[in-house]
């Protein structure tokens, strides 16, 4: 099949990173990131110990123009074919900023707008740099998401498991906050854990009776907070608790991934499929190494994209839009911006399954945010 070479501008603003990128994919399927600029808001949120949605939305408004100008300048002499923007899931104020900007830009240039699911961006991110073939298994593990997905094709995803409460990165951040380690907590907790004894504290194991691939971290968070208040007196105590927490999170990620790999192999007759890990938590060395070992044990090839494409970025959004465009051959409204696209705070990748087997009941939170 010959595919149309395309150059797409991507925009990402669903959490605390404003990002714009230009990505090209040629007729042979070779991907080139022509520019990828990111403005991280970590400093603005640090004093609150987490992302404040209003601060995030305002910061996106203030920075997006400049970032787009920089991304276009860095990409050089290009002709854009389309604009891809995150339309959800995420913090609604931020998503609206990026999507509105994209609509204005698309209108001004008379280009099609492709609304992209942020999770799909993560799902395809490994294809920015690696020759990852469908189907593959993905563990998306960040501050906002924790799920296992079977990635069958562009636009064809099966969610094998997701968190029923917090995301893994959120657990790292919240426990680090209780221990006074600052924000974001993941890297600080990992550093502190290096001096610790992971066997010192026994922490609860979540969803032990279940045989599925869902995650839960809230019990661990409560238990760790209790130990922190009652037993952590010295630097060594703190390091031991960090090491124990990291080991508990690692174990849960490994157990569910192992289960998902076995299920994936039963469903798909592929030799040496890829196991891709994406999201900020993939930066954790202990977690990475453990997942590498589990992949090898199950005959999977372990793939971890470079960290800059693992954490939130716009190159993955551009690629997701581009791959949809290339797969369809044409846009539904070629030459016109899709002004009807709505910003969605929640948007499961696998909508059919999330309706037939919802993680949350209709009251309260509808569908895991992660």
Binding interface with ligand KG4 (CB under 6 A): 15, 142-144, 169, 172-173, 184-187, 190, 279-281, 283-284, 311-312
Q: How far is the CB of 298 from ligand KG4 (least distance, A)?
A: 23
Contact 112, 333 (CB under 8 A): yes
Q: Around Cβ 364, how many Cβ atoms within 10 Å?
A: 6
Q: Which is nearer to ligand KG4, 143 or 273 (CB)?
A: 143
- Site size toward Zn ion, by CB under 5 A: 1
Q: Which of these segments, 59-67, 174-182, 253-261, 311-319, binds Zn ion (CB under 5 A)? A: 311-319
Site for Zn ion contains 274 (CB under 5 A): no
CB nearer Zn ion, residue 173 or residue 312: 312
Q: Does 12 bind Zn ion (CB under 5 A)?
A: no
Cα separation of 362 and 369, whole Å?
14
Using the minimum distance from each CB to ligand KG4, give the nearer residue, 33 or 51. 51
135 binds, among ligand KG4, Zn ion, none (CB under 5 to 8 A by kind): none
- Nearer to Zn ion by Cβ, of 16 and 312: the residue is 312
The verdict on 312 binding Zn ion (CB under 5 A) reads yes
Least spacing, CB of residue 104 vs ligand KG4, in Å:
25
Of the pair 142, 252, the CB lying nearest ligand KG4 is at: 142
């Amino acid at each position: 099949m010959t595919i149309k070479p395309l150059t797409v501008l991507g925009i990402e603003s669903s959490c605390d990173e404003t990002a714009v990128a230009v990505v090209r994919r040629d007729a042979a399927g070779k991907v080139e990131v022509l520019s990828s600029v990111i403005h991280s808001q970590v400093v603005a949120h640090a004093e609150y110990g987490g992302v404040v949605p209003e601060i995030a939305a305002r910061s996106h408004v203030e920075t997006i123009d400049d970032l787009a100008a920089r991304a276009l300048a860095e990409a050089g002499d290009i002709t854009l074919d389309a604009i891809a923007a995150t339309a959800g899931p995420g913090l609604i104020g931020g998503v609206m900023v990026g999507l509105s900007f994209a609509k204005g830009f698309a209108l001004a240039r008379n280009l099609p707008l492709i609304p992209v699911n942020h999770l799909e961006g993560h799902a395809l991110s490994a294809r920015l740099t690696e020759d990852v073939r469908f189907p593959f298994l993905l563990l998306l593990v960040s501050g906002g998401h924790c799920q296992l997905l079977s990635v069958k094709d562009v636009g064809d995803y099966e969610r094998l498991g997701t968190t029923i409460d917090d995301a893994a990165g959120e657990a790292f951040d919240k426990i680090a906050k209780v221990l006074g380690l600052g924000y974001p907590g993941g890297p600080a907790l990992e550093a502190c854990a290096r001096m610790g004894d992971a066997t010192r504290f026994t922490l609860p194991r979540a969803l032990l009776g279940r045989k599925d691939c869902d995650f839960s971290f809230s019990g661990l968070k409560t238990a760790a907070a209790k130990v922190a208040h009652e037993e952590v007196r010295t630097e060594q105590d703190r390091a031991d608790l960090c090491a124990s927490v990291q080991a508990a999170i690692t174990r849960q990620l490994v157990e569910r991934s192992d289960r998902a790999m076995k299920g994936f192999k039963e469903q798909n007759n592929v030799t040496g499929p890829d196991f891709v890990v994406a999201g900020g938590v993939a930066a954790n060395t202990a977690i990475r190494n453990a997942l590498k070992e589990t992949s090898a044990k199950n005959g999977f090839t372990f793939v971890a994209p470079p960290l800059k494409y693992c954490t939130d970025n716009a190159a993955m959004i551009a690629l997701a839009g581009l791959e949809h465009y290339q797969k369809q051959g044409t846009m539904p409204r070629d030459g016109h911006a899709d002004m009807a696209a709505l910003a969605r705070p929640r948007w499961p990748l696998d909508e059919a399954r999330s309706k037939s087997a919802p993680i949350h009941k209709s009251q309260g939170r509808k569908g895991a945010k992660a």
